[in-house]
Structure formats: C-alpha cells, structure tokens
Amino acid sequence: MTQNPSSPLAYRDRHFVDSDEARPLRILAEYIAPLEVFRREHIHDTIVFFGSARIRPEGPMSRYYDEARELARRVTVWSKAISSHLHRFIVCSGGGPGIMEAANRGASDAGGRTIGLNIGLPFEQRPNTYISHGLSFEFHYFFMRKLWFAHLARAVVVFPGGFGTLDEMSELLTLQQTRKIDRAFPILLYGSSFWKEVINFDALVAHGMISAEDLKLVHFVDDPDAALAVLQRDLAPLNDTASPAIAELRTCESGESFDKSQAGARR
C-alpha cells in the first residue's frame, strides 16, 4: 500500500501562503517584518521624502534631484549631531529612482543610514543602490507601505511628482486634517511654483472643499536652506523613548463631535 507523503506545515506551503485565503497573513507579515527590523536597528523616527521616479540628474527638472539630494544630506548631518542612542530623523524614501534615489543618495553622502520602502511595479520601481544595508524593504501592498511612511514620520517633504506622489501626499494631509494620527508633523511642498500650478489650493477653499485653516497644514519651500529651517524649527528634539516611535491612531466614535483645540493640546 502506497502512503501519501505528509502535507507541509501550512506556513511553509507556498501554494497556501500565496492563496486568497492567506491574504491576511501576507498583510500581517508586511507589518511585523519591518517592525522587527526597526526595533533591532534602533530606528526611532523618520523624515520622509516623496517625489517623482521620473526626475533624473540630467533633464528639465534636474534641479529637484540635486536639491533633494542636498536637503537629505543636510538633514542627515543634523540628525547625526543629535545626542541620542537612537537613530533620529532618518531619511526615508519610496526606495526607487528619481527623487527617491536622490534622498537616499544625499543621506548616504553624509555617511548616515537611510531607509527605502520599495514596492514591486511593472515599470520604474527598482530599489536604488543608496539605501542602507538591511533597511531596504519590498512591499506588495500599497496600503502597508503607506502605513510605514506614516507610522514613523516626523516630517514629510514632497517634491514634484505624479499620481503616486499626489496619492501619498493627499493621504498624509487627510490624516493630519482629520487628526487620525495623534501627532502633528510638518508637510513641506518643495517647489511652490509647481505645486500652486498643479493644485489650486485657493479654489479648494473658495468652493468650501477645505477650510482656510487647512492651508496651515502645508509649508511651501523653494530651496534646501528654507526647507531645513522649517524642519529644525518644527522638530524640537523629543525625549528618547523605545524605538520605533510609532504614531498613535485616534479613534472617534460614530456621531462623536471632534474638538480640534483639545486634539492640538494632546499633540
């Protein structure tokens, strides 16, 4: 009588792990695996750089590549000067080419550590070579990648970009506007002429889609000096805590009114 071979352990069964039924396990893995690395490497918090993968060192918008690289270098020099046993204000990007590469490259120029949260796409997106060893992550799910952008961010610098950049920026602006993340962080829109042409913020206010107060969520900057000044002004060194310094999420019950002044006090 022929015996059937024993079935593999479920978590070693690639067919099962890749199945629809195991999707919750894959999602959970994209939370737990980065968390374990950030704890092990004592990554406390980040400054996130967003921007187009299509901006290259040579080209009509190459100044943004150069300035993203320079800003990331200066941020890293500043970060390394902070007296702490934890890694503070680490430059974090989407891990690909263009502005993402420029940010990781600038941090590397300064001899600092730098994070890349990459995602598999059919074009444009491959991990750049400037991400620090052990801090390059590959995501399948966009929403898990964006969770890690938001979870550790103390500031966000948004360079010119397309749909992906607009999506990432809009999500973080919404989290700030609605106070779903229970801490504030500055959002810098780098290249005021680009952003004011692409998005008519005043029209959004005029049509009642956002409030005038919401415009205070963004800072327009046009050079590395101005950007670094905003970051250093708004990011006063915080007391060291266990790493990583994950943002808390605020829960609002259905129908509950929201007191913005009270939320601001908590932040």
pLDDT (0 to 100) of residue 45:
93
The CATH class of 45-237 is: alpha beta
pLDDT (0 to 100) of residue 237:
61
Q: Is residue 108's pLDDT more than 80? A: yes
pLDDT (0 to 100) of residue 3:
52
Percent of the chain, pLDDT > 90?
75
266 pLDDT tier (thresholds 50, 70, 90): very low
pLDDT (0 to 100) of residue 101:
97
Tens of pLDDT, residues 55-83: 999 999 999 999 999 999 999 999 999 88
Q: Is residue 254's pLDDT more than 60? A: no
pLDDT (0 to 100) of residue 241:
62
86 pLDDT tier (thresholds 50, 70, 90): confident
Which residues lie across from 90 on neighbouring strands? 46
Average model confidence (pLDDT) across the chain: 89
240 pLDDT tier (thresholds 50, 70, 90): low
137 pLDDT tier (thresholds 50, 70, 90): very high
Asked if 94 and 115 count as a contact pair (C-beta separation under 8 A), the reply is: no
Largest CA distance in the chain: 80
